[in-house]
């Protein structure tokens, strides 16, 4: 009796058995198969058990090998587990297509392996297709068989993929709602281009319903954002405008603007339907609309349809009616907690801008609070940084914006990176020079200008006043950062632009910054290389870390595959090259010394044959010119010889020298070549010597130009004669030496 009771207890405490093939399949997920981690654990009742649980159960039973009773008990338990495994196998086989799925999983274990020959994979795929052809719909909705179909789509031939896609025709909408079947639809969209229109056509009339489904919404989003063309996108969007657009599909789908142009009387009905759809997603407050760009566009369409709010508009009450008296304020209440999740897309960033415009000061503070800790990521995003531009354009509390929000960009772990990043730097440039199309993309400027009407009603301060207050607060921080990271900023394209504009428009003492810039131009190429090598010659001793080494090697391989080097990557400026040789730094130095380009207003007012009037030279640019000229003059002969004799990387260096020689600031030319009395004797002989060795026009290039001119072909100079073409091909150092000689 004691043995029977003990046996009964063991049966209760024993873990649930599992089929060995299923355990192996579940624990080794194919990297190519798209299965969420949360979903991978929901495989149904009594379908599997982790091997760790089995090992733990066996480990708890300490068996004394010298005790015969204990050995017999262990044998009984092992037999019980084998019996349970057999029962589970029989139970699974008894299910519909159970034996077929068992065979498919065995083939799948071979097909999914990465290190097998293509011939073996093709052989197993042919065997698998022979088993599932005609039965694909029957096995697809099973969680384990769905993985097999995914691998068949991934590793199969185009013909085999067509067979699978053809058999699933008519079931795509149902599959999209399946927890595991939705991945098959994604595979078909990715790997069967011919069937994409068919998949999208099956979604017609059900888009609004599918978008409310947890799994199907991701399939709709993938089809909309990655595979649909403009007309197909309009077809998907139409169904949110009203039931008639879902039931009666036109031959050619139209955009919302086209629909309203043809039927302006439907505007209010469309606005109502869109508002109800948005409210159903957002009123509960638990929906995550971040991944769904189709909803971002829908919200943007709704906000653009709203009338301009009045200056005295009031916020709606908590029990907002179906048609709120102030739709703008109603949308602010719905979206103010979701902006941080949607501003990474172009439509989402415009939604965030419009919400900031329509929000009250209290709501704006709430939105700024939600951005806290994420300002660095937002500023470095392609579309997210435009939200910060609007933030600086509409929020009247400049102290809050500058000290609480923007200050976060320049106090993080790497503060200099914000000024070197191609997107974050535009926020600084916007504050310094406003809506300059030289630094901002045209469509960004157009969008900011299009919202000026709303901005005048919702903000009190003028744009210039608001920007000047922010610049006054942040200028000390900017000047300190530019002085500390002057070398990195000079060698970065975006950082150089920020450096030039801060030098011209920032408020405060710029002496330290000017000295830092001029000190970088000291020395020669050899001395700079010696300093750079000595700085990196004695690295700190670190304990060997295998994982860290492998991660570093993988990162280097990735950079090599992307063909990125330190010069092309704005986050990694090349500090090994001298600033008078580096291409980005020479361009920046030339801009500083010359004072920048001719202003657009001056260039547009010039008459025929009259030179454009240059903007007044900023005193800081003149100070930089004098400081740089004073430093370079100590090694001027070296740099002239370098530019004259070296065939590589000389144009940028000579442009800096030429900008110093032609500077409008008084004293720069004298600081470079000395006073008029002493420079002739010192440089006449050197100029004559270097003029003979300076690179002019190679004979082969001159001969080629003569042949083209004789043959009547169009040349790069736009039909100029040979003499002018040859003169244009002279090296910059030759032009500089001629000007230097003429000034004696």
Q: End-to-end alpha-carbon separation of the chain, Å?
A: 121
Residue 71: predicted pLDDT = 79
pLDDT band at residue 80 under the 50/70/90 scheme: confident
pLDDT of residue 497: 92
Instruction: Grade residue 155 by pLDDT with cuts at 50, 70 and 90.
Output: very high
CA–chain centroid gap for 539, Å, is 34
Q: What is the pLDDT of residue 176?
A: 92
Is the confidence at residue 160, as pLDDT, over 70? yes
The answer to whether the CB of 173 falls within 8 A of the CB of 206 is: yes
Query: Where is average pLDDT lowest: 118-122, 507-511, 532-536?
Result: 532-536
Angle at 313 between CA 312 and CA 319, to 5 degrees: 145
What are the backbone dihedrals phi and psi of residue 661, each rounded to the nearest 5 degrees, phi first?
-70, -35
| Assigned domain for 77 exists | yes
The pLDDT assigned to 353 comes to 93
- pLDDT-based confidence at 667, cuts 50/70/90? confident
Residue 709 lies in a domain: yes
Q: E strands within 600-743? A: none
Least confident of 408-417, 491-500, 511-520: 408-417
Average pLDDT over residues 93-97: 65
Last residue of a domain, one of 73, 94, 115: 94
Round to whole Å and give the CA distance between 474 and 7: 78
Instruction: Give the closest residue to 663 by CA, choosing from 588, 579, 735, 590.
Output: 590
- Give the whole-number percent of the chain exceeding pLDDT 70: 72
In a domain, residue 554? The reply is: no
Per-residue pLDDT, 295? 92
Give domain status of residue 708, yes or no: yes
**Cα 384 to Cα 377: distance, rounded to the nearest angstrom:** 8
- Which of 57, 74, 94 finishes a domain? 94
The highest-confidence range among 518-532, 537-551, 670-684, by mean pLDDT, is 518-532
**pLDDT of 254:** 85
| Phi, psi for 621 (deg, rounded to 5) | -65, -40
Tell me whether residue 439 is in a domain.
no
Q: How far apart are CA 96 and CA 646, in angstroms?
A: 80
107, pLDDT greater than 60: yes
**Do residues 598 and 615 lie in contact, with contact meaning Cβ atoms separated by under 8 Å?**
yes
Q: Could you list the residue range(s) of the whole structural domain that residue 62 is in?
A: 2-20+44-94
0.85 surpassed by pTM: no
The confidence score (pLDDT) of residue 302 equals 92
Domain endpoint, select from 66, 94, 122: 94
731 vs 497: which has the higher pLDDT: 497
Angle at 531 between CA 527 and CA 535, to 5 degrees: 170
Q: Is residue 651 part of a domain?
A: no
pLDDT 10s digits, 587-625: 999 998 988 654 433 333 444 444 445 667 888 888 888
3-class SS shares of the chain: helix, strand, coil, % to 5: 65, 0, 35
What is d(CA 73, CA 59) in angstroms, rounded to the nearest whole number? 15
Residue 489 three-state SS:
helix
Give the mean model confidence (pLDDT) for residues 667-694.
72
Strand ranges inside 109-213, DSSP E: none
- Measured CA to CA, the distance from residue 225 to residue 217 in angstroms comes to 12
- For range 338-361, the mean pLDDT: 92
pLDDT at 339 over 50: yes
Selected residue with higher pLDDT from 42 and 731: 731
What's the number of domains the chain is made of? 2
Q: What is the pLDDT at residue 386? A: 94
In a domain, 698, yes or no: yes
| Res. 385: pLDDT tops 80 | yes
Asked whether residue 670 is assigned to any structural domain, the reply reads no
Least confident residue range of 81-90, 320-329, 410-419, 655-664: 320-329
């Amino acid at each position: 009796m004691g043995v029977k009771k003990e046996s009964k207890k063991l049966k209760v405490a024993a873990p649930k058995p599992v089929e060995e093939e299923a355990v192996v399949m579940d624990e080794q997920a194919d990297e190519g198969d798209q299965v969420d981690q949360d979903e991978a654990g929901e495989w149904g009742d009594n379908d599997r058990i982790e091997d760790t649980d089995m090992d733990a159960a066996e480990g708890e039973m300490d068996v004394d090998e010298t005790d015969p009773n204990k050995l017999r008990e262990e044998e009984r338990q092992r037999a019980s587990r084998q019996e349970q495994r057999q029962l589970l196998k029989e139970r699974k086989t008894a299910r519909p297509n159970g034996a077929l799925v068992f065979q498919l999983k065995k083939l799948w274990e071979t097909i999914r392996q990465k290190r097998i020959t293509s011939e073996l994979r093709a052989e197993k795929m042919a065997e698998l297709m022979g088993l599932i052809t005609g039965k694909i719909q029957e096995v697809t909705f099973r969680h384990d068989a769905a993985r097999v179909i995914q691998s068949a789509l991934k590793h199969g031939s185009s013909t085999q993929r067509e067979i699978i896609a053809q058999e699933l025709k008519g079931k795509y909408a149902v599959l999209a709602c399946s927890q595991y079947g939705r991945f098959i639809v994604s595979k078909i969209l990715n790997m069967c281009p011919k069937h994409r229109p068919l998949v999208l056509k099956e979604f017609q009339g059900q888009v609004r319903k599918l978008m409310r489904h947890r799994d199907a919404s991701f399939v709709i989003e993938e089809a909309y954002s990655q595979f649909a063309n403009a007309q197909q996108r309009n077809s998907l969007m139409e169904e949110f405008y009203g039931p008639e657009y879902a039931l009666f599909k036109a031959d050619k789908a139209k955009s919302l603007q086209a629909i309203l142009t043809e039927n302006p009387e439907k505007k209010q009905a469309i606005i109502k339907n869109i508002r109800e759809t948005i409210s159903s997603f957002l009123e509960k407050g638990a929906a995550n609309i971040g991944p769904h760009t189709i909803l971002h566009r829908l919200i943007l369409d709704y906000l653009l349809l709203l009338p301009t709010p009045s200056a005295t508009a009031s916020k709606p009450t908590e029990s907002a009616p179906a048609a709120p008296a102030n739709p703008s304020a109603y949308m602010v209440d719905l979206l103010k907690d979701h902006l941080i999740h949607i501003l990474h897309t172009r439509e989402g960033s415009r939604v965030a801008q419009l919400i900031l415009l329509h929000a009250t000061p209290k709501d704006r503070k709430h939105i700024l609070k939600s951005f806290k800790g994420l300002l660095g990521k937002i500023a470095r995003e392609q579309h997210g940084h435009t939200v910060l531009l609007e933030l600086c354009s509409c929020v009247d509390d400049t102290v809050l914006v500058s000290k609480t929000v923007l200050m976060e960009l320049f106090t993080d772990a790497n503060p200099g990176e914000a000024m070197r990043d191609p997107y974050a730097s535009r926020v600084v440039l916007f504050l310094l020079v406003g809506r300059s199309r030289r630094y901002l993309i045209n469509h960004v400027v157009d969008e900011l200008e299009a919202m000026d009407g709303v901005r005048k009603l919702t903000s009190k301060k003028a744009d210039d006043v608001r920007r000047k207050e922010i610049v006054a607060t942040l200028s000390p921080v900017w000047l300190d950062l530019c002085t500390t990271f002057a070398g990195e900023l000079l060698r970065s394209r975006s950082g150089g632009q920020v450096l030039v504009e801060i030098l011209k428009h920032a408020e405060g003492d710029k002496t330290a910054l000017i000295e830092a810039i001029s000190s970088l131009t000291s020395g020669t190429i050899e001395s700079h290389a010696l300093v750079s090598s000595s700085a990196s010659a004695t690295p700190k001793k670190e304990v060997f870390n295998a994982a860290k080494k492998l991660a570093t090697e993988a990162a280097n391989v990735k950079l090599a595959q992307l063909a990125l080097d330190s010069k092309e990557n704005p986050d990694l400026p090349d500090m090994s090259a001298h600033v008078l040789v580096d291409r980005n730094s020479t361009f920046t130095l030339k801009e500083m010394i010359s004072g920048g380009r001719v202003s657009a207003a001056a260039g547009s007012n010039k008459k025929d044959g009259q030179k454009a009037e240059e903007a007044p030279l900023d005193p800081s640019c003149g100070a930089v010119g004098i400081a740089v000229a004073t430093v370079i003059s100590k090694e001027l002969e070296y740099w002239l010889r370098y530019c004259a004799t070296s065939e590589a990387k000389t144009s940028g260096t000579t442009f800096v020298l030429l900008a110093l020689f032609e500077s409008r600031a008084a004293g720069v030319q004298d600081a470079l070549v000395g006073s008029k009395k002493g420079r002739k004797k010192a440089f006449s002989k050197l100029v004559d010597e270097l003029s003979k060795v300076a690179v002019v026009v190679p004979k082969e290039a001159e001969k080629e130009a003569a042949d083209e001119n004789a043959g009547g072909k169009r040349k790069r100079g736009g039909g100029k004669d040979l003499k002018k073409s040859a003169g244009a091909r002279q090296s910059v150092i030759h032009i500089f030496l001629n000007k230097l000689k003429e000034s004696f």
